[in-house]
């Protein structure tokens, strides 16, 4: 496994933990704002820097950089489809007279970052599996 | 679906002809990870021109002697 593959797996594990924590807190409290505390586990990503090291040579070479760039593009595509798409479609599906609580709104940056990072990590792993 | 390079290459053959050079040795010499050498040997990655020249130089051959493009390509 390349350091970038290991980092992608690490990101998926951290994102999984954050989602479980946020879901549990939301389930217990029923308050979306409290669920933000679960997403704070995303801060564990700072420890991922140690993974992006390779004692035997460069941590990232031209193939890794190319895969990283493609994965970034894919993740932006997924982000726009899912995140922006959900916001755009919501009034059409639920009605223009409905409102969103600020307690719910505070979750949106965390959910957006979560979608972006998960999509990027999955795209990275799939691109490596395809050969790069 | 796995991607295939239009090129074939003789990297594995050339490694063995050069004192059975390991993939890690070649990777270190040309400045990439061992996984990239594995992908190259499996025809799953098309290298940049820079990397192709570095590999050819390592084996003291021309790029065309390492990477072969079928005539119908």
Q: For residue A132, give the nearest of B27, B34, B45 by CB distance.
A: B45
- CA contacts within 13 A on the Cβ side of A44: 16
Are B15 and B21 in contact by the 8 Å Cβ rule? The answer is: yes
From chain A, the residues in CB contact with B27 under 8 A are 56-57
Phi, psi at B67, each rounded to 5°: -110, 125
Would the CB atoms of A2 and B35 count as touching at under 8 Å?
A: yes
Q: Which residue of chain B comes nearest to A64, CA vs CA?
A: B36
Task: Say if the ipTM goes beyond 0.95.
Answer: no
- pLDDT reading at A32 higher than 90: no
Q: Mean pLDDT across chain B, nearest whole number?
A: 89
Q: Give pTM, 2 decimals.
A: 0.82
């Amino acid at each position: 496994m390349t350091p970038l593959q290991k980092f992608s797996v690490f990101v998926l594990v951290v994102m999984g933990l954050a989602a479980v924590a946020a879901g549990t807190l939301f389930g217990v409290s029923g308050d979306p704002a409290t669920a933000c505390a679960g997403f704070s586990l995303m801060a564990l990503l700072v420890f991922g820097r140690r993974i992006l090291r390779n004692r035997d040579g460069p941590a990232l070479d031209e193939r890794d950089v190319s895969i990283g760039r493609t994965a970034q593009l894919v993740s932006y595509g997924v982000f726009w489809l899912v995140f922006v798409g959900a916001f755009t479609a919501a009034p059409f599906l639920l009605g223009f007279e409905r409102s969103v609580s600020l307690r719910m709104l505070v979750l949106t940056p965390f959910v957006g970052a979560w979608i972006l990072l998960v999509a990027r990590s999955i795209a990275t792993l799939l691109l490596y599996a395809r050969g790069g | 679906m796995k991607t295939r390079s239009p090129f074939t290459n003789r990297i594995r053959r050339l490694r063995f002809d050069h004192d059975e050079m390991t993939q890690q040795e070649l990777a270190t010499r040309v400045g990439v990870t061992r996984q990239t050498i594995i992908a190259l040997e499996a025809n799953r990655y098309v290298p940049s021109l820079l990397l192709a020249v570095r590999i050819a130089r390592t084996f003291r051959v021309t790029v065309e002697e390492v990477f072969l493009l079928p005539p119908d390509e």
